[in-house]
Amino acid sequence: MAKTIGVILSDRISAGLVVDYKLQGPLQRFPDDHDDEDALVEMHTEALVETICRQVVEVAGGARDLAAVGVALPGLVKDGVVQESPNLPQLKGARISEMLTAHMRSHGIDVPVSALNDADGMAAGLASAHGKLDHMIRVWTLGVGIGYGRYPFAQGVWEGGHSVVTLDEKERFCGCGGRGHMEGIMGHRAMRLRFLDMEPEEVFEAAKNGDARCMEFKRLWHKALAAASATSIHMAGPGKIFLSGFNVGFVDLPMLKDYMQQMVKMSPLQSYSLEIVQDNPEIRVIGAAVWAEQAVAR
């Protein structure tokens, strides 16, 4: 049974040992205080890399039969290089796989290191948890931004959160500056910019209570999710689409399915399904480890 280590970077680092696609023991976390949400942002690149390595060493526990290490992080990652990372800007341009490999070797761990987008890690983790490692899995992570994860591995950028879902000139709330993006409608940051007088939670609560402006936005929000999902189906085919992230509670599944039915009309493409799942670091850690193990085999 292959032993791999999965690591995720979000507001903190979580790492775990994965054997035969199952987590062994509790996760190793840094920082210990969950309220210290700026700890990683404030580190320079070398310090962050060294901190990741220390978590891996702790999780490895002296084992020398590891097959690989997978590190999932927010941003655009290609060939082991972080091309863009809005949430951890110090990593932009970092040859993260190469740096981690060198640092881990200095700690006595000489294994391949794979870097991947955190949403792809979530997709791989869900595929493992649901026994779908031989199926295509997609996941939307609804949070500060909008993450799009896909399993199995396929070449591409996959910045699905920046799918264009409207040509409205006024839709310019996406953090990247682009017009008409899904994230500019659905992202938590974008919603706060749009409703300066209300928090996103208050917007959806007001929609339940019949507020016309909030009801209109709720429909727009669901149309954006349906449009991006329908586009993915038309490009890659049907299959399982998971919905996760801390804003997944805003999803009205009947409304979303109704919009999807209006958008996907070709009968061979209608065998897709939608499912809401809770986001948790354990699934992401397993996904990063699965990704790393499969990268060795590719």
Identify the pLDDT of residue 156.
83
Banded pLDDT at 86 (limits 50, 70, 90): confident
Contact assessment for residue 200 and residue 191, using Cβ atoms and an 8 Å cutoff: yes
> Does the structure show a pLDDT above 90 at 64?
no
Q: How many H-runs (helices) and E-runs (strands) does the chain carry?
A: 9, 11
Percentage, residues of the chain above pLDDT 70: 98
> Does the structure show a pLDDT above 80 at 27?
yes
For the stretch 143-198, pLDDT in tens is 989 999 999 988 888 899 999 999 999 999 998 899 999 999 999 999 999 999 99
Identify the pLDDT of residue 61.
87
Banded pLDDT at 1 (limits 50, 70, 90): low
Report in angstroms the alpha-carbon separations of 24 from 96, 286, 289.
26, 10, 12
Write down all domains in the chain, each with its CATH number in brackets: 3-117+280-297 (3.30.420.40), 123-276 (3.30.420.40)
Banded pLDDT at 38 (limits 50, 70, 90): confident
Query: In angstroms, rounded to a whole number, what is the distance separating the alpha carbons of residues 214 and 197?
Result: 12
Banded pLDDT at 119 (limits 50, 70, 90): very high
Burial 177-211 (b: 16+ CB within 10 A, else e): eeebbbbbbbbbbbbeebbeebebeebbebbeeeb
For the stretch 245-269, pLDDT in tens is 999 999 999 999 999 999 999 999 9
Identify the pLDDT of residue 297.
78
* Beta strand extents in 156-287 (DSSP E only): 240-244, 273-276
Nearest to 52 by CA among 110, 99, 108, 18: 99
